[in-house]
Every structure is written in structure tokens, then in C-alpha cells.
Amino acid sequence: MSDTATSPAAPPPGGQPAGGRQRPSAMRLRFQAVSGTLASIPITLFGLVLVTFFIGRVVPIDPVLAIVGDRAPQDVVEAARLQLGLDQPLYVQFWRYLGQIASGDLGRSVMTSNPVTDDIIRFFPATFELATLALIVAVLIGIPLGVWAATRQGSWVDQGVRLFCLAGHSLPVFVLGLISLLLFYAHWGVLPGPGRQSIFYEGMVDTRTGILTLDALLAGDWGAFQDALLHLAQPAGVLAMFSLAYIARMTRAFMLNELKSEYVTTARAKGLSRGRIVWGHAFRNTAVPLVTVLAMTYAGLLEGAVLTETIFSWPGLGQYLTVSLLNADMNAVLGATLVVGLIYVMLNLLSDLLYRLLDPRVK
């Protein structure tokens, strides 16, 4: 029997597998992955709007009474209900609301009498400024702390970091906020109290971006910049404390997993320095899953730290959402919730794209 009878069939020209089936190209695989991710965005937002809308309609709060008052005559209440379309079935109200969202109309706020879109544009920069500074502080402290604990596993350093992370992640945010106000504002007087800026600086800087620190820098007013930064210190510090505890804990877990890998053992056998092994090899692989952790942490901060903004009287999206809910302002609640959901979806999409860029094994 000849060798050709038992040898496997040679692949056809061009590298195509037998049977005429072509292997999809790398570009096509990337396009399919990105298109599938993008297609999930409207589905996710539709589900978010659906759930939020029906919850807002079944809660024992009448949005009509929030508009006309609980002492309005019955005929006025019925006229307002008819004008708002609340006399229609729920599915009719929902499809009408979807049409409004598609046209960029989130309705009008009962509390402020402004379009909800304008309110969100006005309140969101305060949350963005607070969340961004808190995340920067959390990353600059939390990641080195987690790496430091992982490289000294079992030592007093590792135990101290783990205890710090447990306390920071378990202690309620409102407790941290009240302790901060009690010590730094009431007792020592080294930081200003609640609010976004002092009364002296209100209206002195033109609003360009809505971010006070950036607007003060653009105007060249260093006094207003320092005042805005000092007002940021306490709420941003409280949020950073909570976030860096989680980031440090996750960084430590990721690093411990990488430091036990075979390539780290090989690098040590080759005589590479400890710093190069930790930061040049182990941390580079840790950065891939850490991207998702940072993205979700940032999304949680951007959704509006409700308790922190309430304690420090910070006029952000979280406080706007809370006050709107207490006043049965359902248009504002639905609009703010939709923005929060969009933030989560977009940051999740961004982390997914960065994951694919940082890790070539992900197709």
C-alpha cells in the first residue's frame, strides 16, 4: 500500500479547509463582534425604559396630584389627567413615551418647570466633576496598594491592606460623609462645608462647561479654582475611599493570580529584577481585567452618588434624581434613569473594546 493512501488529504490551494467552507477573516470576526455589541445597546435601553416606565406607573404616587396639588378640584384633576394622556391604557402611554424619546423629548419636569433634558445638562457636570476626581484618586492609591499587598502576601502589609479595604468597602458612605464633616469642617475647620462653592464666589466665573474647577481655570480666577477644589475635597475623598477599597481588593486578587503563573516563575529563573517581573509582566496582564473593574466603578460614580450628594448638598444628578422621586416627578425620574443606563451601557462597551485591544487572545 502506498503512502498516499494513508496520508491525510492535502488542503486545497489558498489554505481553505476541505468541503469548500471558508474560514472567516479576522476583520470579519471583529466586525461581527462590534456589530453584535452595538446591536445590544438599543435592546438594553428599551428594556430599561420598559421596566422603569411601568414601575413609575404602578407606584402609589399620582403624578397628576404632584402637578395640580392634592387640594385641586376633581374636575381640574381629571382635566390634567386627560391632557397628560394618563387616562389611556399603559401600553398606549408607553408607546407614546417611546415616540417622545425618539424625538429627543424627555418631557418637562414638574419640580423645575424646565425640560428634563435641560435639567440633566445643568446637573450632570457637577456629578461628572465629582466622580472623575474620585476615580483619579482611587486609581492612583488603590492600584499601587493592591500590587503592594499582593507582592507581600501573608505579611503584616498584606493584612493591613486587606483590613483597610474591608473597612473602606463595608463602612456606609453616609457614615464616612458625616465623620468627614464633623472632623474637617466642624472640629478642625480646615475644609469648607457642604455646597459646591462659597457664597463669595457665586456668579464670579462664567459657566462654560458646568465644571467649576475647569471654568475657573479657563477664566484665570485662581481664588475661585482653589475654593471649588476645596469644596470637592470632602465628597470626592469619601467616594474615593469607597472606590479605592474595591479597586485595591480586585487588584490584589488579579496580581496574586498572575504571580502564581508559570511565566513569572520563568522570569525569576532568568534573573529578571523584581520590579520588572511585577510591573513589566504581571501587572500588564492584570491591567486587562482591571479595565472592566475601573469602567464599572466609574459608571457607578457617574450615576450619581445619592447619599454623598445629599450629605454634602452637591447639586448633581443623584440629588436631582432623589428629589424628583420624592416629588413624584416621573418625567425627571425616567429621564435621569435613562441617562444612567446609557452611561452604564457606553462604559461597558468601551471596556469591551479596550479589553479586545489590550488582550490579542480575545477575538
Look at residue 133 in the predicted model and tell me its pLDDT. 95
Residue 6 lies in a domain: no
Longest Cα–Cα distance of the chain, Å, equals 102
The answer to whether residues 138 and 262 belong to one domain is yes
Residue 273 lies in a domain: yes
Q: What is the pLDDT of residues 179-208, one digit of tens each?
A: 999 999 999 999 998 999 998 888 888 888
Give the dihedral of Cα atoms 79, 84, 88, 92; nearest 10 deg: 170
- Interval 225-231 mean pLDDT: 95
Instruction: Read off the pLDDT band of 6 (50, 70, 90).
Output: very low
The answer to whether residues 279 and 353 belong to one domain is yes
Domain stop point among 68, 102, 136 = 102
Between 358 and 137, name the one with better pLDDT.
Answer: 137
Number of domains observed in the structure of the chain: 2
Between 147 and 306, name the one with better pLDDT.
Answer: 147
Residue 234 lies in a domain: yes
User: Residue 230's domain is classified under what CATH number?
Assistant: 1.10.3720.10
CB-based contact 357:139 (threshold 8 Å): no
Between 182 and 7, name the one with better pLDDT.
Answer: 182
Beta strands in the chain (DSSP E): none
Look at residue 14 in the predicted model and tell me its pLDDT. 47
Q: What is the pLDDT of residues 63-120, one digit of tens each?
A: 787 778 777 888 888 888 888 787 888 888 888 888 888 888 888 888 888 999 999 9
Domain stop point among 102, 136, 164 = 102
pLDDT above 50: residue 5: no
pLDDT above 50: residue 230: yes
The answer to whether residues 138 and 88 belong to one domain is no
Mean pLDDT of the chain: 84
Residue 338 lies in a domain: yes
Residue 71 lies in a domain: yes
The answer to whether residues 64 and 213 belong to one domain is no
Residue 17 lies in a domain: no
Instruction: Read off the pLDDT band of 26 (50, 70, 90).
Output: low
Q: What DSSP string describes 293-321?
A: HHHHHHHHHHT--HHHHHHTT--SHHHHH
pLDDT above 70: residue 51: yes
The answer to whether residues 194 and 251 belong to one domain is yes
Task: Give the three-state DSSP class for 331.
Answer: helix
Domain stop point among 102, 135, 161 = 102
Task: Give the three-state DSSP class for 272.
Answer: coil
The answer to whether residues 153 and 76 belong to one domain is no
Instruction: Read off the pLDDT band of 304 (50, 70, 90).
Output: low
Residue 111 lies in a domain: no
| Structural domain for 49, as ranges | 27-102
Q: Give the integer Cα–Cα distance in Å for 185 and 181.
A: 5
The answer to whether residues 158 and 64 belong to one domain is no
Look at residue 1 in the predicted model and tell me its pLDDT. 44
Look at residue 2 in the predicted model and tell me its pLDDT. 44
Instruction: Read off the pLDDT band of 285 (50, 70, 90).
Output: confident
Percent of the chain with pLDDT over 90: 38
- Interval 338-349 mean pLDDT: 85
pLDDT above 80: residue 351: yes
Look at residue 34 in the predicted model and tell me its pLDDT. 64
pLDDT above 90: residue 148: yes
pTM reported for the whole predicted model:
0.84
Look at residue 22 in the predicted model and tell me its pLDDT. 54
Residue with cell 435601553: 45
Instruction: Read off the pLDDT band of 44 (50, 70, 90).
Output: confident
- Interval 46-61 mean pLDDT: 79
Residue 112 lies in a domain: no
The answer to whether residues 94 and 232 belong to one domain is no
Q: What is the separation, in whole angstroms, between the first and last Cα of the chain?
A: 44
The answer to whether residues 319 and 219 belong to one domain is yes
Look at residue 48 in the predicted model and tell me its pLDDT. 82
The answer to whether residues 268 and 128 belong to one domain is yes
Beta bridge partners of 115: 108
Instruction: Read off the pLDDT band of 300 (50, 70, 90).
Output: confident
The answer to whether residues 287 and 140 belong to one domain is yes
The answer to whether residues 172 and 274 belong to one domain is yes
